[in-house]
């Protein structure tokens, strides 16, 4: 009886705290803390290799579609050399182009910029933006200038459809939606619920850590691919998201402001 009475008193407090997540949030990429782990690429002898990519890439760099296995997003990739400092990569799924990356190295050889465009299956607008990387190691002797190890330094000019996140509390959980068409509704019980709109995430589970913190676990089939901890500031104006990427072995932090 005492326990039920205590829960009855606590319920309005929990509902208010859960409501702190409600609303649309916009990420400020200038406040992002990006992974320290570098990305490694090598373009040499007519072959393009990326041992740090997920999945690992090893294809001919002849501008033709090459079969790639292990990605839920694409099944072929073409790599084309534009000049001695620039290459273009195109990914397709089922013959349809889903992504384009144009990577260019600065004249001093220390900065690599990648202009990206990627469209999720079922989405009507692509995600676009620029990734800026800083060189941490040279590539193989005689390799293309885009080769080497590079650490992501910043993201620039990304489209609004990847910057906005909408959260809405439910009586016993949370729903999430993105302009790209991704969404889920899950309870705070640690059980798996469907994740819609992204072939790279098929299920999500939620656990409440405390009044202002939720832990989300993302899965691809039965494999955990990421653990995301979302925390709302005491004033309810800032959402901090720490992403532990299990596939790449990296951690990133993103900060969003309530709109």
The tens digit of pLDDT for each residue in 63-118 reads 999 999 999 999 999 999 999 999 999 999 999 999 999 999 999 999 999 999 99
Both 48 and 109 in one domain: the answer is yes
Both 198 and 253 in one domain: the answer is yes
Query: Is residue 214 within 8 Å of residue 208, measured between CB atoms?
Result: yes
Both 169 and 106 in one domain: the answer is no
Edge-first strand order for the sheet with 127-138 is: 57-60, 47-50, 39-44, 148-156, 127-138, 111-118, 96-105, 86-93, 76-83, 66-67
Kindly list the distances between the CA atom of residue 21 and the CA atoms of 63, 80, 163, 259, in Å, as whole numbers in the listed order.
46, 44, 16, 12
For the chain, the domain total comes to 2
Whether residue 2 is contained in a domain is answered as no
Give one word for 122, left, alpha or beta, with left for phi > 0 and alpha for psi -120 to 50: left
Domain containing residue 95: 39-160
Both 176 and 246 in one domain: the answer is yes
* Closest-CA residue to 117 (of 58, 85, 80, 162): 162
Query: Is residue 105 within 8 Å of residue 145, measured between CB atoms?
Result: yes
pTM for the model stands at 0.88
Distance, in Å, from the CA atom of 140 to the CA atom of 48, rounded to the nearest integer, reads: 12
Both 66 and 119 in one domain: the answer is yes
Which pLDDT value is given to residue 123? Answer: 82
How is residue 253 written in tokens? 């932090």
Which pLDDT value is given to residue 211? Answer: 86
């Amino acid at each position: 009886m005492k326990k039920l009475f205590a829960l009855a008193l606590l319920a309005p407090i929990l509902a208010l705290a859960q409501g702190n997540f409600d609303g649309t949030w916009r990420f400020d990429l200038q406040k992002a803390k990006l992974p320290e782990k570098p990305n490694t690429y090598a373009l040499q002898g007519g072959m393009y290799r990326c041992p740090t990519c997920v999945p690992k890439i090893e294809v001919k760099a002849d501008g033709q579609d090459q079969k790639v296995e292990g990605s839920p997003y694409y099944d072929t990739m073409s790599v084309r050399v534009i000049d001695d400092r620039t290459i273009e990569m195109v990914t397709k799924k089922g013959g349809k182009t889903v992504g384009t990356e144009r990577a260019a190295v600065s004249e001093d050889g220390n900065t690599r910029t990648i202009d990206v465009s990627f469209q999720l299956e079922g989405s009507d607008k692509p995600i676009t933006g620029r990734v800026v990387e800083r060189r941490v190691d040279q590539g193989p002797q005689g390799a293309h200038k885009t080769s080497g190890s590079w650490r992501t330094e910043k993201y620039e000019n990304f489209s609004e459809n990847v910057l906005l996140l909408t959260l809405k509390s439910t009586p016993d959980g949370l729903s999430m939606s993105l302009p790209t068409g991704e969404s889920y509704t899950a309870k705070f019980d640690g059980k798996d619920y469907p994740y819609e709109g992204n072939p790279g995430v098929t299920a999500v589970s939620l656990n409440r850590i405390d009044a202002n913190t939720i832990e989300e676990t993302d899965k691809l089939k039965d494999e955990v691919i990421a653990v995301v901890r979302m925390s709302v500031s005491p004033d309810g104006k800032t959402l901090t998201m720490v992403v532990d990427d299990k596939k790449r072995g990296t951690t990133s932090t993103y900060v969003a402001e309530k709109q």
